[in-house]
Amino acid sequence: MKEYKCKHCGEVFEKPLLLARHVRSTHKRAKTREKKGVEKEKQADQINKTIEAIGILKGLQVSPNLSAEEKKILGEVLTRIEELLAYTQRSK
Which residues of this protein are in contact with Zn ion, per CB under 5 A?
A: 6, 8-9, 11
Q: Which residues contact 6 (CB under 8 A, 6 or more apart)?
A: 12, 13, 19, 22, 23, 27
Cβ proximity to Zn ion: between 25 and 63 the closer is: 25
| Shortest distance in whole angstroms from residue 6 CB to Zn ion | 3
Do residues 82 and 53 lie in contact, with contact meaning Cβ atoms separated by under 8 Å? no
| Shortest distance in whole angstroms from residue 61 CB to Zn ion | 56
| Shortest distance in whole angstroms from residue 1 CB to Zn ion | 19
User: Which whole-number Å values give the CA distances from 44 to 10, 30, 37, 50, 77, in the listed order?
Assistant: 35, 21, 11, 10, 21
Cβ proximity to Zn ion: between 11 and 76 the closer is: 11
Cβ proximity to Zn ion: between 21 and 80 the closer is: 21
